Amino acid sequence: MIIGVLGPGGSYSERAAKLWMRKNDLEGAELRYFEDIEDAFLAAAGGKTDISVIPIENSIEGSVGVTLDLLREDGAVITGEVVVKIEHCLLSKGGPEAIRVILSHPQALAQCRHFLKMNFPHAELRSTGSTSHAARLAGEFEEMAAIASPEAAEKYGLKVLLSNIQDRKENHTRFIVVRAEGSGKYGPSGCKEADRIQNRCKTSLIAYLAKDRPGSLYGLLGTFAERGINLTKIESRPSKKELGDYYFYIDFEGSASDALIKDALEDIKAKADMLKVLGSYPALRNSEA
């Protein structure tokens, strides 16, 4: 089994994948590293990996836009989720007085915005494809530092100058496990009966309302309210066609195989101009909190 993750080694995506492997008895799986989120996602959608573990949402900075766009545009389904505690550290070969450039993934830089402004106001901030990529680059020059995980420090021979530098103490990233549509050979697919009994299933979908008219979104959300279905997330994402035109991403409790959910989805089909069900899967909480 091949699992795609954002690389190189030492990334939070790697941590999420290893947690997923332990929880699903997949210790023999092979991790395959990709330069960016899109490459890892498309590898799963195209069958080059059996699954890929992709970041979708952070508790400080919100959703990962590229992941939302890929879910709409490409043929992959969600088969699980993992929530990982984020522990950003400032890593470098030299000391803090030598730092001139700080590298990291854009999300990590944003999650540490206040810290950077207060402590390194004159440092140049550079974006990289992942936090672990930043750590690898920081190992080349003493005036460079990286915001990355403790694992990255150990892997690339860097010193941990400061720990837990994110602007909020509670910092978690939710990762989704995706696979190609129609491929259920590897990993849990859908919700098991035990998950359904314990009300631990979640379903994700995308809906598009082409006509902007009063009450259109209210009517869509009313479909869930009328049936007592609890929404866990709703977010709009620009369609990229014109200003004010949006796709709606909705997560809710329940499995698409439940009679109540099936009935709701049929109702939504009649109201929306596009409906894409991204998958039903066991819902997790803060797995490493």
Q: What is the mean pLDDT of residues 3-21?
A: 94
Catalytic residue among 67, 131, 173, 223: 173
pLDDT at 211: 72
Q: Which two tokens stand for residue 176?
A: 């989704």
Q: For this structure, is 252 an active site residue? A: no
Helical pair 37-45 and 65-73, crossing angle rounded to 10 deg: 20
Question: Are residues 70 and 197 part of one domain?
Answer: no
Question: Are residues 81 and 10 part of one domain?
Answer: yes
In a domain, 188, yes or no: no
Question: Are residues 36 and 175 part of one domain?
Answer: yes
Q: What is the mean pLDDT of residues 138-164?
A: 94
Question: Are residues 274 and 197 part of one domain?
Answer: yes
Question: Are residues 175 and 48 part of one domain?
Answer: yes
pLDDT at 27: 83
Question: Are residues 176 and 45 part of one domain?
Answer: yes
Question: Are residues 115 and 80 part of one domain?
Answer: no
SS3 label, residue 165: coil
pLDDT at 233: 93
Q: Which residue(s) pair with 247 in the sheet? A: 208, 237
Q: Which domain holds residue 269?
A: 193-282
DSSP codes, 184-198: -SSS--S--HHHHHT
Arithmetic mean of pLDDT over the chain: 89
In a domain, 232, yes or no: yes
Question: Are residues 97 and 62 part of one domain?
Answer: no
How many domains does the chain fold into?
A: 3
Question: Are residues 71 and 32 part of one domain?
Answer: yes
Model confidence pLDDT, tens digit, residues 83-140: 999 999 999 998 999 999 999 999 999 999 999 999 999 999 999 989 999 999 999 9
Catalytic residue among 175, 203, 224, 252: 175
| Percent above pLDDT 90 for the chain | 74
CATH code (residue 128): 3.40.190.10
Model confidence pLDDT, tens digit, residues 166-196: 999 889 999 999 999 875 543 445 666 555 5
Q: For this structure, is 34 an active site residue? A: no
In a domain, 152, yes or no: yes
pLDDT at 286: 47
CA dist 211 and 141 (Å) reads: 55
pLDDT at 187: 41
